[in-house]
Amino acid sequence: MKTRRQFLKGSLIAAGAVALSNSGQVFASAGGYPTGVFYTQANSGRWAKKVGSHAPKVSVKGSTVTILTAHPMSEKHYIVRHTLVSADGKVLGEKTFYPTDKTALSTYQLPQNAGTRFYATSFCNLHDFWITEFTV
C-alpha cells in the first residue's frame, strides 16, 4: 500500500509541476502531454481502445463538478483515484477508490475565484493516468 500511495503522490506532484512549468498551461506547445505519462481523449497513445472507459467525464452544475470514469471495478482492474486540479496546479479535490466500489464517481465544490479552466484526472491501476481539461 505504501508504494501505491507514493506513486499517487508522485503523479499529483508531476501534474502540478507540468502545470506550473508551463505558466498555468498544462498542454505543452508541441501539442499535448508528455507521451507515455499522461493520456487524454485526443492523445490516447497505446491505450486508444481504452478512451471510453478511462478518460474522465466531467459535468458541471453551478459550482458543483462531478467526475465519472465509466470503468468496471474489480480486484484486478479498477480506477484508483480522481483529482480536480485548477489551471495553476492547485489540487482542489481528490478521492481514492477501492476495487469494491461500484463506480468511480466523485463530486467537488469549486471555491470562489478558482478560475475558469480545470483538469479532471483519473488513474487506472493498469492503464495509467488520464486527464480531461474543461472550462466553466
pTM given for the model: 0.77
C-alpha cell at 75: 480486484
pLDDT at position 37: 81
Q: Which of 32, 10, 63 is nearest to 131 (CA)?
A: 32
pLDDT at position 32: 61
pLDDT at position 33: 66
In this structure, which CATH number among 2.60.120.920, 2.60.40.730, 3.40.630.30, 3.40.50.300 belongs to the domain 2-135? 2.60.40.730
The domain spans of the chain are 2-135
Q: How far is CA 3 from CA 6, 9, 55, 130, in A?
A: 5, 10, 24, 20
Q: What does the DSSP 8-state code read for residue 75?
A: S
pLDDT at position 6: 57
pLDDT 10s digit of each residue in the chain, 136 long?
556 555 555 555 455 444 434 434 444 423 466 767 889 999 898 999 999 999 999 999 999 999 999 999 999 999 999 999 999 999 999 999 999 999 999 999 999 999 999 999 999 999 999 999 999 9
